[in-house]
Amino acid sequence: LKDSAAAQYGSDAIAGVINVILKSSAEGGHLGVTYGKLYSGEGEVSKFEGDTGFELGNGGFLHLSADARKRGDASWNEKATNNAYFPGDPREATWDRVGVKNGDPQIKAFNLAYNAELPLDDQTTLYSYGTYGQRDAIINNYFRYPNGNANIPELFADGYYPLNNLDDTDYQYLIGGKGQALGWNWDLSTTYGRNNNHPYSDLTINPSLGPASPTSFDDLATYRFEQWVNNLDITRAFDGLFGVPLQVSAGLEHRWERFRTFSGDAQAYQVGGY
């Protein structure tokens, strides 16, 4: 790469990096509660969080953290100008004409994390950390008009707002060791992480199935990404060599990645011919 941010500052400068610093105290902790909402009354948010630390062995620690939050949806509405019902239907004059609900989804989520270190002797320390997060989100899709091809009047005479649901689970765990040997500082670790993304819908139909279509689908698909990374880093400082301070560092990394897509309920995507 030439004449770019990546060339000057490294490849991470292209998209940026989140630097997560885990708490490492062996005592104390905190509890916190947050509440708020928009002036309109939507988007109500409540959050509970806490962490605490414990001594582990001789000079080690175990620090635990957790949080849970709930957020209501918040949307701004656009009034539709087209007809929702078939010509001559008196209900056309009374429907609220909200055809789109754009905004933030309703979310329920919680996260767990731990960080630990355990000295084995003056030269060697074991360490480990892990995070686990789970999130459920719900948001409306575009309104399905009573007279539209995406609706079946026998199922929803006044049309309906489909729901987009998402169940997302993410976790990562690391275990490693670090220390000194033969004048070198070393750090050896292995990390495994996985993200599981599962869309579904509590309210939608497959119009091609006609009146026989289900009105909810528990499994639309599953998208899964996994990563396993192994690292070895060594470094040593040489004082006074060539008359100036000198540090030599080297490292090895092995990375395995896999992305998979799993099909969901066949009734959600099959062509029924209705």
Region 137-155: mean pLDDT is 89
Between 253 and 39, where is the model more confident?
Answer: 253
Q: Is the pLDDT of residue 236 over 80?
A: yes
The pTM score is: 0.80
User: Quick one: pLDDT band at residue 143, thresholds 50, 70, 90?
Assistant: confident
pLDDT of residue 234: 95
How confident is the model at residue 63, as a pLDDT? Answer: 95
* 161, amino acid identity: Y
Can you give the pLDDT at residue 1? 42
pLDDT in tens, 20-34: 778 888 888 899 999
More confident residue, 44 or 6: 44
pLDDT, one tens digit per residue, over 175-220 is 999 999 988 999 999 999 999 999 999 999 999 999 999 999 999 9
Residue 230: the pLDDT is: 96
Does the pLDDT at position 88 exceed 80? Answer: no
Per-residue pLDDT at 41 exceeds 60: yes
Band (17; pLDDT cuts 50, 70, 90): low
